[in-house]
Amino acid sequence: MSLDVVDLRTFYTGPLGAVARRLLGRAIRARWSNVTSLAVLGVGYATPYLDLFSGEAERVIAVMPAAQGVVNWPSGGLSAAALCDLDMMPLADASVDRVLLVHALEIGESPREILSEMWRILTPGGRLILVAPNRRGLWARMDTTPFGFGQPFSRGQLTTVLREALFSPVHWAEALYVPPIPRRTFLRSAATWERVGATLALPFAGVHMIEATKTLYRPVAIRQTRRVGATQMRPVLVPAPRLTRGEGMASLAPVHTASLD
C-alpha cells in the first residue's frame, strides 16, 4: 500500500513525528558523522532527515516514488527533490556516495529491485542506511503512523534481501522503542524508552536501522563436473596388426568392419 506525501508531511509536523525525527536522526547522524565532499541521496520520504547533511555534503538530493507524490525540498532556495520510479532512477552508475532509504522498501513492489538500483548508483565503497518497520514492533501494528503501512520486516528477511542485492550489512540497530501514542507522558519519556530499550536489546523496537556497504564482486555459481567412468569409454579406432616388411605402413582400422556383398 502506497503512502500519500501529504499524510507523510502531516505526520512529521505533528508531535509523534517530531519524536521519530529526533530519535532516528540522532541514530543516522551517529553512523554518518562526516559527509564532507560526499553526495547524499534520500530515497522514499527521507527529507525530514536530510537536513542533517545540508551545508556539509557536496550535494543532497531527495527522490520520492511516483505513487507517493513529491513535495518541494528544501523549503528555501532551489528544489532538490524529484519524482521517479525507485527501480529505474535517472542517475548515472556510481554517482552517489551515501543513500538513505526511509519509507521506501516496505511500500515497494519489489524490495530486491529497489536495492539493486541502489547498488547500481552507489560508488565503490559507498554506503546505504535502510530504515524499515520491525515486524515485532508496535509501530508496524498501528496505522496511525507511516511505519504501519506496507510490509514490515524481520532481521532475517532484511539480511536476505540485502545480500541478494549484493550488500554486506556492517551495522545493525533498532529505534523507536517508545509506544506510538501521542500522549505527553510517552512523548516526554521517549529518550528514556530509547535508552532502556537499546541497553536491554528489547525485541519490540519500532524500526530496524541497517547500514550496509556495496559489495564489488558478484558470486559465481559452481557447477559440478561430471566425470565419465573408464568403463563407459569406448574407442572408435584401434591400431591394426603390424604389417610385415614390404607390406606397407601400419594403419588404423575400425573395430568392426562391414562386409560388402
Helix count and strand count (H, E) for the chain: 7, 9
Is residue 117 in a domain?
yes
d(C-alpha 159, C-alpha 165), whole Å: 10
Residue with grid cell 563436473, as numbered in its chain:
225
> What is the pLDDT of the chain when averaged over all its residues?
86
Name the pTM for this structure.
0.81
Residues of the chain with pLDDT under 50: 220-223, 225, 227-228, 230, 248-253, 255, 257-261
Q: Does residue 245 sit within a domain?
A: no
pLDDT tens, residue by residue, 87-119: 899 999 999 999 999 999 998 889 999 999 999
Q: What are phi and psi of 91, to 5 degrees?
A: -125, 150
CATH of the domain at 201: 3.40.50.150
How many structural domains compose the chain? 1
Residues 31-72: tens digit of each pLDDT: 999 999 999 999 999 999 999 998 899 999 999 998 889 999
Expressed as residue numbers, the domain containing 187 is: 5-214
